[in-house]
Structure 1
Amino acid sequence: MEIKQLQHFSRIAEIGNLTRAASVLGLTQAALSRQVAQLEAELGTELFRRNGRGLVLTDAGQRLLDHVPLILRQIALAERAVRGSVGPVQGALVLGLPPSLARTVVVPLIDAFREHLPEVTLRTVDGLSAHLVELVGTGKLDCSVVYNQPPSDVAELRLLADEELYLVSGPLIEHAGKALPRSLTLTDVATLPLVTAGTTNAVHAALATAMAALGLKPQVAHEIENLTAILDLVRKGYGCAVIPLSGVHPCIGDPKLRLHRIRKPLLRCSLSVATPVRALNDSLIGQGTSLVRDVVRQQLVQFHADVEKAIDA
């Protein structure tokens, strides 16, 4: 197997159509088809089968695809190790982000990479924290920022910061017949209908754990993983949402959303950076994650100042 074959195989699997994949890769369809045939002949099995909409992986093809990111990552690691510290760090860094951060820090991150690591291409993927850790472990991500994750056998976790949680409400939500105050206790929050991302979400888990310590339970009205959809439901009065500071910041100035502190107790989620085990000597991952840490910390400090000012306005 050749590296190019694996890269092209992975792209075909992603796109699901040979013609479109050939166009993306800058190859003729015939040339790409020959590559697939050669790879299948070498492995002695079919990797794709045709259906009415294009190509789908066979079971053997899926098993190969599961290994490709790790293979390509190990090759990239070897190439960077051979080059050592000669010249500026270069390559592609694939970074995982939880949805709230993905909405707010991608542009500052790209700006920072362009200034400090101009020969590194940053690509971001968003998802739930537990899944992002798994993707780091399988080599599909180079690193990830994650919420409240336990120690892992597949990834190194290093604490980045604590991020405060806030309540976001809509115009129709009241407490004891009055508009919600700027600051609420956790007991107050337990009386409100909540729109959450589900029990597997790290933020919801932190909320439920804190409430359980007081003998309380969240009153979940709706569960939906997408943060944009959660806020849409809050705007329409279906409930409130407890979300991290980075997710609250874009809500500033929205006339249909109100922001509230949660006190007694103060709720926080820990943010960590997940990297592959034994990746500390890799210059791309090392310098890339260092820059990610700096940018995220700076953004959180600014977000906190902005949100607190908005609540008090």
Structure 2
Amino acid sequence: MEIKQLQHFSRIAEIGNLTRAATVLGLTQAALSRQVAQLEAELGTDLFRRNGRGLVLTDAGQRLLDHVPNILRQIALAERAVRGSTAPVQGTLVLGLPPSLARTVVVPLIDAFRERLPEVALRTVDGLSANLVELVGIGKLDCAVVYNQPQSDAAELRLLADEELYLVAGSKTGRAGKALPRTLTLADVASLPLVTAGNANAVHAVLATAMAAIGLQPQVAHEIENLTAILDLVRKGYGSSVIPLSGVHSCIGDPELRLHRIRKAVLRCSLSVATPTRALQDALIAQSTLLIREVVRQQLAQFHKDVEQAIGV
């Protein structure tokens, strides 16, 4: 097996269509088809089967695909080790982000990488924190910023920061035509219908645990994983939502949304950086995660000032 064969096999599996994969890879369909045939002949098994919409992996193909990210990672590690620590860090870093952070820190991160690590291409993937840790563990992500995740055998987690949670409500939410106060207690939040991301979401877990401690529970009206859809439902009056600071920041200035701080008690989620075990020995991941930590902390500090100013006293 050759490195290019594995890279091209992985891209075909991702796209699911030989013609489109050939276009993306800059190859002819015939050349790419020959590569697949050679790989299948070498392994003695079919890797793809055709259906009405293109190509799908066979069981053997899926088993190979499961190993490809780690194989390519080890090759990249070896190449960077050969170049030595004095060479400029270069390569592609695949970073996982939860949706709220992805909405607000991707552009600052790309700006910072362009300035400080210009030979590193940053690629981001959105997902739930538990899924991101799993993807780091199996080698499909180089690192991820995640909420409230326990230590894992598959990945190393290092605390980054605590992120405060706020309530986002529709502009007409309140009783007797009166808007909700700028500052709410946890008991106030328990009296409101909420749109949440579901029980598996780290933010919901923090909220439910804090309410249980005072003998209350969230009134969940709707469960939607997508943050954009959650905010759309809030705008239409289907409920309010408890959202991390990074997600709340993008709501500033929206005439259909109102922001509220939560006190008694303050709710926070811990943010950690997940990396593959012993990955910080690799210069690309080590230097990239240092930069990610710096940028995320700076952004959270600025977000906090902006959101508190938007809420007012």
Using the size of structure 2 for normalisation, the TM-score is: 0.98
Kindly, what percent of the aligned residue pairs are identical? 85
Distance in 2, matches of 1:172 and 1:233, equals 13
2:200 aligned residue: 200
Distance in 2, matches of 1:2 and 1:57, equals 19
What is the CA deviation profile of residues 38-65 of structure 1, one whole-angstrom value per residue up to 9, with x for unaligned ones? Answer: 1111111111011111111111111111
Paired letter, 1:147 = Y
Distance in 2, matches of 1:175 and 1:127, equals 36
Distance in 2, matches of 1:87 and 1:285, equals 14
What is the CA deviation profile of residues 49-105 of structure 1, one whole-angstrom value per residue up to 9, with x for unaligned ones? Answer: 111111111111111111111111111111111212132100000000000000000
What is the CA deviation profile of residues 154-206 of structure 1, one whole-angstrom value per residue up to 9, with x for unaligned ones? Answer: 11100000000000000232147632000000011000000000000000011
Alignment of 1:206-221 (within 5 A): 206-221=206-221
Paired letter, 2:76 = A
Paired letter, 2:90 = Q
Distance in 2, matches of 1:45 and 1:270, equals 46
Distance in 2, matches of 1:33 and 1:145, equals 38
2:309 aligned residue: 309
Paired letter, 2:129 = S
2:85 aligned residue: 85
Contiguous gaps of at least 5 residues in structure 1:
none
1:111 aligned residue: 111
Paired letter, 2:32 = L
Paired letter, 1:10 = S
Paired letter, 2:193 = P
Name whichever of 72-81 and 298-307 sits farther off. Answer: 72-81
Paired letter, 2:62 = Q
Name whichever of 245-254 and 171-180 sits farther off. Answer: 171-180
* SS class of match (1:77): helix
2:49 aligned residue: 49
- Is 1:9 aligned to residue 3 of structure 2? no
Distance in 2, matches of 1:29 and 1:279, equals 36
Distance in 2, matches of 1:240 and 1:211, equals 16
Paired letter, 1:109 = L
Distance in 2, matches of 1:270 and 1:164, equals 9
2:227 aligned residue: 227
Paired letter, 1:301 = A
Give the number of aligned pairs. 313
- Is 1:265 aligned to residue 302 of structure 2? no
What is the CA deviation profile of residues 221-263 of structure 1, one whole-angstrom value per residue up to 9, with x for unaligned ones? Answer: 0000000000000000000000000000010000000000000
Distance in 2, matches of 1:175 and 1:268, equals 27
What is the CA deviation profile of residues 17-47 of structure 1, one whole-angstrom value per residue up to 9, with x for unaligned ones? Answer: 1111111111111110010001111111111
1:286 aligned residue: 286
Contiguous gaps of at least 5 residues in structure 2:
none
Distance in 1, matches of 2:74 and 2:61, equals 20
* SS class of match (2:112): helix
Distance in 1, matches of 2:16 and 2:277, equals 32
Distance in 2, matches of 1:286 and 1:171, equals 44
Paired letter, 1:261 = R
Distance in 2, matches of 1:142 and 1:265, equals 35
1:188 aligned residue: 188
- Cα-Cα RMSD: 1.0
2:35 aligned residue: 35
Paired letter, 2:204 = H
Distance in 2, matches of 1:78 and 1:175, equals 63
Distance in 1, matches of 2:15 and 2:279, equals 30
Distance in 2, matches of 1:217 and 1:108, equals 37
Distance in 2, matches of 1:183 and 1:103, equals 25
2:20 aligned residue: 20
2:179 aligned residue: 179
- Is 1:129 aligned to residue 129 of structure 2? yes
